[in-house]
Structure 1
Amino acid sequence: MRHHLLPVFLASALAASAASAQQAPDASMIQLGSDIPAKWKAPEGAYNFVRHEVMIPMRDGVKLHTVILVPNGAASLPMLLERTPYDADGFAQKGILNMRDAVRSANREWVDDGYILVYQDIRGKYGSEGKYVMTRPPIGALNPTKTDDTTDAYDTIDWLVKNVKESNQRVGMIGSSYDGWTVTMALLGPHPALKVAAPESPMIDGWMGDDWFHYGAFRQVNLDYFSGQTSKTGKGDKVPRVGVDDYQNFLDAGTAGNWAKQNGFDQLGFWKRLSEHPSYDAFWQGQALDKFVAAKPSSVPTMWLQGLWDQEDMYGAIITWEALKAKGKAGNNHLVMGPWYHSQVNGSAERLGPFKWKGDASADFRKDTLIPFFNTYLKDQKPAEALPPVLIYNASENRWDKFADWPGATTLTPLYLQADSGLGFKAAAAGEDSYVSDPAKPVPFLAPPMSFGDRSRWTTWLLQDQRALTTRTDVLSYKTPVLTEAVTVQGAPYADIYAKTTGTDGDFVVKLIDVYPPTVAEQPEMGGYELPVSMDIFRGRYRESFEHPSAIPAGAVQQYKFRLPTVNYVFKPGHRIMVQIQSTLFPLYDRNPQTYVPNIFFAKPEDFKKATISVQHGTAGASAVLLPVVPASTAVK
Structure 2
Amino acid sequence: MHKKMVGPLALMAILAATGSAHTDDATALMQEAMRPDTVEVYDPVRAEADYIRREIMIPMRDGVKLFTVVVMRKGTKDAPILLSRTPYNASKATWRNPSQKIEEILTVMDAEFVNDGYIRVYQDVRGLYKSEGDYVMNRPLTGPLNNSGIDHSTDAYDTIDWLVKNVAETNGKVGITGSSYLGFTTLMALVNPHPALKAAVPQSPMVDGWIGDDWFHNGAFRLNSFGYFTGQMARKGNGPVPQGTGDEYELFLSSGSAGDFARRFGLDAFGQTQKMMNHPAYDDFWKLQAVDKILGERKLTVPTMLVVGQWDQEDSYGAPAVYKALEPQDKKNDMVSLVIGPWRHSGVNYEARSLAALDFKGDTGLEFRRDYMKPFLDRYLKDGAPKVKTPPVLTYATGADRWEVSDGWPRGKPTPIYLQAGGGLGFEKPKAEAKDDYVSDPAKPVPFIPRPVDMGDADQWKPWLVADQRFVDGRPDVLTYVTGPLDAPVHIAGAPLVDLFAATTGTDSDWVVKLIDVSPEEFSAVPKMAGYQMGVGIEIFRGRYVHGFDAPAALTPGKVENYKFELPNVNHVFQPGHRIMVQVQSTLFPLYDRNPQTFVPNIFNAKAGDYKAATQSVATGGAEASAVWLPIVKD
TM exceeds 0.5?
Answer: yes
What's the secondary structure of 1:628's corresponding residue? strand
Tell me how far 1:171 sits from its aligned partner. 0.6
What's 1:260 paired with? 262
Q: Over aligned residue pairs, what C-alpha RMSD do you find?
A: 2.2
What's 1:172 paired with? 175
What's 2:90 paired with? 88
Tell me how far 1:16 sits from its aligned partner. 6.9
Alignment pair present for 1:186 and 2:185? no
Asked whether the equivalents of residues 72 and 114 of structure 2 are also in contact (C-alpha less than 8 Å), the reply is: no
Deviation readout 1:21-41 (Å, 9 max, x if unpaired): 652226996689866677777
Counterpart AA for 1:24: T
Percent identical among aligned pairs is 50
Over 3 Å counting, the alpha-carbon distance change for 1:611 and 1:38 in structure 2 is closer
Counterpart AA for 1:287: Q
Alignment pair present for 1:119 and 2:118? no
What's 1:288 paired with? 290
Cα distance between partner residues in 1 of 2:235 and 2:14: 61
Asked whether the equivalents of residues 438 and 617 of structure 2 are also in contact (C-alpha less than 8 Å), the reply is: yes
What's the secondary structure of 2:445's corresponding residue? coil
Q: Which of 75, 78, 87 is equivalent to 1:76? A: 78
Matches within 5 A, 1:79-478: 79-93=81-95, 96-232=99-235, 236-328=238-330, 330-383=333-386, 386-409=389-412, 411-428=413-430, 429-478=432-481
Cα distance between partner residues in 2 of 1:11 and 1:321: 85
What's 1:522 paired with? 525
Cα distance between partner residues in 2 of 1:257 and 1:12: 69
Asked whether the equivalents of residues 435 and 614 of structure 1 are also in contact (C-alpha less than 8 Å), the reply is: yes
Cα distance between partner residues in 2 of 1:13 and 1:59: 64
Counterpart AA for 1:593: P
Counterpart AA for 2:300: S
Tell me how far 1:460 sits from its aligned partner. 0.7
Cα distance between partner residues in 1 of 2:544 and 2:462: 29
Cα distance between partner residues in 2 of 1:25 and 1:331: 80
Which has the higher mean CA deviation after the structures are superposed, 22-31 or 297-306? 22-31
Cα distance between partner residues in 1 of 2:524 and 2:98: 50
What's the secondary structure of 1:195's corresponding residue? strand
Tell me how far 1:70 sits from its aligned partner. 3.0
Asked whether the equivalents of residues 513 and 532 of structure 1 are also in contact (C-alpha less than 8 Å), the reply is: yes
Over 3 Å counting, the alpha-carbon distance change for 1:133 and 1:37 in structure 2 is closer
Cα distance between partner residues in 2 of 1:77 and 1:143: 36
Cα distance between partner residues in 2 of 1:163 and 1:281: 43
Tell me how far 1:386 sits from its aligned partner. 2.7
Alignment pair present for 1:628 and 2:634? no
Cα distance between partner residues in 1 of 2:568 and 2:524: 30
Over 3 Å counting, the alpha-carbon distance change for 1:23 and 1:216 in structure 2 is same
Cα distance between partner residues in 1 of 2:490 and 2:618: 25
Count of residue pairs the alignment pairs up:
623
Cα distance between partner residues in 1 of 2:59 and 2:513: 49
Deviation readout 1:415-442 (Å, 9 max, x if unpaired): 1111111111112121000000000000
Asked whether the equivalents of residues 435 and 475 of structure 1 are also in contact (C-alpha less than 8 Å), the reply is: yes
Instruction: Report the TM-score, using the length of structure 1 for normalisation.
Output: 0.94
Asked whether the equivalents of residues 57 and 65 of structure 2 are also in contact (C-alpha less than 8 Å), the reply is: yes
Asked whether the equivalents of residues 376 and 388 of structure 2 are also in contact (C-alpha less than 8 Å), the reply is: no
Over 3 Å counting, the alpha-carbon distance change for 1:12 and 1:567 in structure 2 is closer
Deviation readout 1:298-343 (Å, 9 max, x if unpaired): 2211110000000000000011001111334643101001010000
Tell me how far 1:15 sits from its aligned partner. 5.5
What's the secondary structure of 2:274's corresponding residue? helix
Cα distance between partner residues in 1 of 2:311 and 2:10: 85
Tell me how far 1:125 sits from its aligned partner. 0.4
Deviation readout 1:64-115 (Å, 9 max, x if unpaired): 0111113222211111100000010001118532222211222122221111
Over 3 Å counting, the alpha-carbon distance change for 1:473 and 1:27 in structure 2 is closer
Asked whether the equivalents of residues 209 and 316 of structure 1 are also in contact (C-alpha less than 8 Å), the reply is: yes
Cα distance between partner residues in 2 of 1:194 and 1:64: 19
Asked whether the equivalents of residues 190 and 298 of structure 1 are also in contact (C-alpha less than 8 Å), the reply is: no
What's the secondary structure of 1:182's corresponding residue? helix
Which has the higher mean CA deviation after the structures are superposed, 36-45 or 223-232? 36-45
Q: Which of 573, 581, 586 is equivalent to 1:583? A: 586
Structure 2 runs not aligned, ≥5 long: none
What's 1:24 paired with? 23
Over 3 Å counting, the alpha-carbon distance change for 1:296 and 1:22 in structure 2 is same
Over 3 Å counting, the alpha-carbon distance change for 1:434 and 1:148 in structure 2 is same
Cα distance between partner residues in 2 of 1:175 and 1:442: 36
Counterpart AA for 2:442: P
Asked whether the equivalents of residues 466 and 536 of structure 2 are also in contact (C-alpha less than 8 Å), the reply is: yes
Deviation readout 1:387-446 (Å, 9 max, x if unpaired): 21000001111010111222112x411111111111111121210000000000000001
Asked whether the equivalents of residues 243 and 249 of structure 1 are also in contact (C-alpha less than 8 Å), the reply is: no
Instruction: Report the TM-score, using the length of structure 2 for normalisation.
Output: 0.94
Cα distance between partner residues in 1 of 2:240 and 2:39: 38
Structure 1 runs not aligned, ≥5 long: 633-637
